[in-house]
Amino acid sequence: MTRDDDEDSGMITLAEWAKEIGRTPEHIAIRWRPARDFPRPVGRRRRPTGRGPGEAVYDRRALETWLAAWEKARARPRRRYEVPGDPDEMRTLNAIARLLGIAGKSISQYRQTFDAHAARREHGARTLYRTGDVVNLLNDRPGAGVASATESDARRGRDLTDQEAARLQAAATPGEWAEIARDLLADGASRPSIGRAVGLTGNAVEQRLRDHDHM
């Protein structure tokens, strides 16, 4: 069955869904879609040219239900962290994550909690947090391993502030640009918002970072 673009707002392509949840279409195609329980297409959307079989569309609720079950299955026992070094040291969330040996997003998804309850100060385009406060709040977080509504929003990523966008645009070298972009990603910024600041798509941002890694 082929559908028009606006016939049913409950239908979505995997590329559109990937953008919403902060994943790449390639990740979904390679890692998730082959799963036996992954939802099947419910139809096809006509291409603008009207040619070809159209693009497969999926039921949005079925995808969200599958993702919730996948996240629940991956839930792990709570891990507690030791404060690395001086608890009064002011650091970025990305720096604290590196000291704890975890991914930046494992911390940045709780940014709202840290903003509300941790000592912090602005340092240029970056926000510095008291290390001890962040670690204690991380250890006290509810439902470790299971995504909450706030965490689901974090997966999509936030938009850049004007100051962050200006900092990215002012990068003098590809290496400096890549370092700033990685800091922003670890700090919860979305790839599309980084791309918009420099005239790239979200996928192009990821490709540029990969290219820099291989330089």
Tally of structural domains, the chain: 3
Residues 41 and 69 in one domain: yes
Half-sphere exposure of residue 21, counting CA atoms within 13 Å on the CB side? 20
Domain contains 79:
no
Residues 57/96, Cβ–Cβ less than 8 Å: no
The answer for residues whose C-beta is within 8 angstroms of residue 212's C-beta and 6 or more apart is: 174, 175, 178
Domain that holds residue 61: 2-73
End residue of a domain, out of 131, 149, 167? 149
Domain contains 78:
no
Residues 29 and 8 in one domain: yes
Domain contains 81:
no
Domain contains 196:
yes
Domain contains 140:
yes
Residues 182/191, Cβ–Cβ less than 8 Å: no
Four-point Cα dihedral 204, 210, 213, 215, nearest 10: -70
End residue of a domain, out of 45, 73, 101? 73
Which CATH number fits the domain that encloses residue 47? 1.10.1660
Domain contains 103:
yes
4 token code pair: 């028009």
Domain contains 22:
yes
- Other beta carbons within 10 angstroms of residue 107's beta carbon come to 27
Residues 55/41, Cβ–Cβ less than 8 Å: no
Q: What is the pTM of this model?
A: 0.38
Residues 113 and 130 in one domain: yes
Extract the residue ranges of the chain whose pLDDT is less than 70.
1-9, 48-53, 74-78, 141-157, 186, 202-203, 212-215
Residues 135/114, Cβ–Cβ less than 8 Å: no
